[in-house]
């Protein structure tokens, strides 16, 4: 099967297949040619140099990534070419030497994967729930990417469980570690304004936010004040790539169904990029 056919069939598998606009989506060919036979597929959160090396070693020539290849929104490379960026040129040479094609699958997988009951769910966050063995705890929500009602535990126990299951180096936790963790909501970015998340936490009883990025302002301040007032509210921040990576691992399990053909397909973990130095 040609790589172009693989990409077309993958797009058709998702809920957004008819709505996502080819000229505006982030899901573009980032490197290489689609007019060659696919020798194998690697899914990954981000194609780091080590991920590319592993794909070449395995003989797989298509990498499906969730995030951009060359460190900027839109994956523009003109500025890297013009400045002869050393790391860019080395990574590009590695891709060329390995005959690697890279396609980004971001908007499509977030638009929804088909579930056995005929509904659709965000493929990234559903994969996270599956990896954490929480899919039976998913509850309907109009205000969150993923809402869960978990068996009650402490925030500290929940954070340690996540670290263990996702094989992370650690996590940042804000709030009382002994708080009860019950209603957990997973968010997209927390990079500034958080009026929605603060209002939802206050009015809907959300007491734990599992977040990718986290800044010191807005939601963090609200959670800290709430915790100091004795409320069961906390944030567990594990990093953007760490939170979404299980969704790309899960993708490797349904690609054969999407393609209707057996092509070697495997997940390569880009892994936790952080080291933690604590007092």
143 pLDDT above the threshold of 80: no
Q: Is 117 annotated as a binding residue?
A: yes
Mean of pLDDT over the chain: 96
CB atoms within 10 A of CB 171: 21
142 pLDDT above the threshold of 90: no
Q: Is 272 annotated as a binding residue?
A: no
Query: pLDDT digit string (tens) for 161-176?
Result: 999 999 999 999 999 9
Query: pLDDT digit string (tens) for 166-210?
Result: 999 999 999 999 988 889 999 887 888 899 999 999 998 899 999
Structural domains in the chain plus CATH codes? 3-111+244-267 (3.40.1390.30), 142-237 (3.40.1390.30)
Question: Which tokens go with 204?
Answer: 């809907």
Q: Is 244 annotated as a binding residue?
A: yes
Q: Is 275 annotated as a binding residue?
A: no
Higher pLDDT, 140 or 39: 39
Q: What is the reported pLDDT for 17?
A: 94
Do 14 and 108 meet the contact criterion of CB atoms below 8 Å apart?
Answer: yes
Query: pLDDT digit string (tens) for 98-111?
Result: 999 999 999 999 99
User: In terms of C-beta density within 10 A (0-12 exposed, 13-18 middle, 19 or more buried), how is residue 59 classed?
Assistant: exposed
Question: Which tokens go with 175?
Answer: 């709030």
Q: What is the reported pLDDT for 65?
A: 99
Q: What is the reported pLDDT for 205?
A: 87
CA distance 113 to 28: 19
- 2: phi > 0 → left, psi -120 to 50 → alpha, else beta; which? beta
Distance of CA 52 to the CA centre of its chain: 18
Q: What percent of the chain has pLDDT over 70?
A: 100
């Amino acid at each position: 099967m040609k790589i172009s056919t693989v990409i077309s069939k993958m797009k058709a598998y998702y809920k957004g297949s008819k709505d996502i606009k080819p000229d505006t989506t982030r899901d573009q060919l980032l490197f290489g040619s689609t007019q060659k036979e696919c020798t194998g597929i690697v899914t990954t959160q981000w194609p780091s140099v080590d991920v590319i090396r592993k794909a070449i070693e395995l003989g797989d020539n298509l990498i499906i990534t969730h995030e951009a290849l060359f460190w900027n929104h839109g994956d523009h490379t003109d500025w890297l070419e013009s400045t002869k960026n050393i790391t860019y040129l080395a990574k590009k040479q590695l891709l060329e030497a390995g005959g690697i094609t890279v396609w980004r699958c971001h908007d499509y997988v977030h638009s929804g994967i088909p579930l056995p009951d005929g509904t659709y769910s965000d493929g990234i966050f559903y994969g996270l729930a599956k990896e954490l063995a929480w899919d039976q705890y998913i509850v309907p929500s109009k205000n969150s990417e993923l809402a869960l009602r978990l068996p009650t535990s402490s925030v500290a126990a929940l954070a340690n469980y996540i670290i263990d299951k996702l094989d992370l180096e650690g996590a940042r936790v804000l709030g009382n570690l002994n708080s009860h963790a019950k209603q957990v909501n997973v968010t997209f970015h927390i990079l500034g304004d958080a009026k929605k998340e603060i209002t939802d936490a206050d009015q809907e009883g959300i007491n734990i936010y599992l977040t990718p990025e986290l800044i010191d302002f807005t939601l963090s301040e609200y959670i800290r004040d709430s915790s100091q007032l004795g409320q069961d509210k906390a944030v567990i921040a594990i990093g953007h790539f760490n939170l979404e990576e299980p969704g790309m691992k899960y993708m490797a399990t349904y690609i054969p169904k999407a393609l209707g053909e057996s092509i070697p397909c495997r997940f390569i973990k880009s892994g936790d990029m952080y080291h933690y130095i604590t007092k």
